[in-house]
Structure 1
Amino acid sequence: MIAFSFNGEELHPSSPEEVGRLLDRVEQAKEFELWAFAPNGRSLCMLRNDDDAWLMYLRQEGDSGFSSRSSVHRPGTATFRLCNGQVDEYPRSWCIDIEQCYKAMAYFFENAGAKPDWINWNED
């Protein structure tokens, strides 16, 4: 079963409907760190700060993984607060549509940790 972590709080939805409710709850926060963990070691992370959000997909713990890329030019950087309070800065060119991030989280859940292919990924 896919487990989630929302700003450090572990959550264990058991159906697509429960994932939908979890994402509705997440949407209320404008700044967060959301992880989804599959039993096979794959994980998907979404970082959001207001209108900026991006994804990171890892094949296993310690993997350099993949990060999302925007299909439109987005100059500059955006800051994101991790659940441990650390603030990191990432290029806005990594940020994608927030709804696409939520769709990717639901897809990851429904497909046992598969990487959403419609996201423009960069292998890091």
Structure 2
Amino acid sequence: MVESWIFDDGTAAEPAETALQRLRERIAAGRLESWLTSSTGRSLGVISNTERAMVLLLDGDDDPGEHAVDPGATGRDGGYILANGQHDEYPNYDTIHLAQALRIVSHILTTGTPPADAPWAVDR
């Protein structure tokens, strides 16, 4: 079975190019937290500060999941505003440049897995 994805507002996330355009539009409009749910129950989260993003992949509601990392990054950045209004700050190691985040999201939407060349941390 091919996995399909929808945004948290019920909008289809296919094809991947359309989903990426929607993510860009949401970020530009200040909606910095986006979640997609797959037909298999997995969740894909993108939380941005417009320059970097945390990309999370969860197998279910109680799963601590896994996320993209930037092994060479140092410091911390803020500006990650969640849908509930909470302002977060993350270590740059746990976030990646937005262009890289969109590439990873596209690969996950297309293949179901992160690209093999993307550094990844498993939090389980």
- Fold match (TM-score > 0.5): yes
Query: Does the CA contact (< 8 Å) of 2:69 and 2:96 recur in 1?
Result: yes
- 2:19 corresponding residue in structure 1: 19
1:50 is the counterpart of 2:13? no
- 2:88 corresponding residue in structure 1: 88
Query: Does the CA contact (< 8 Å) of 1:52 and 1:78 recur in 2?
Result: no
TM-score, scaled to structure 1: 0.79
1:2 is the counterpart of 2:26? no
- 1:109 corresponding residue in structure 2: 109
1:68 is the counterpart of 2:68? yes
- 2:119 corresponding residue in structure 1: 120
Q: Distance in 2 between matches of 1:19 and 1:123?
A: 25
Percent identical residues: 24
Q: Distance in 2 between matches of 1:22 and 1:93?
A: 26
Bigger drift between 95-104 and 27-36 goes to 27-36
CA RMSD between the two structures: 2.2
Query: Does the CA contact (< 8 Å) of 1:31 and 1:49 recur in 2?
Result: no
Deviation at 1:117, TM superposition (A): 3.4
Q: Distance in 2 between matches of 1:77 and 1:94?
A: 10
Deviation at 1:79, TM superposition (A): 4.2
Q: Distance in 1 between matches of 2:101 and 2:110?
A: 14
Show structure 2 runs of 5+ residues with no match: none
Deviation at 1:62, TM superposition (A): 0.9
Poorly superposed stretches of 4+, deviation over 4 Å:
none
Q: Distance in 1 between matches of 2:13 and 2:69?
A: 28
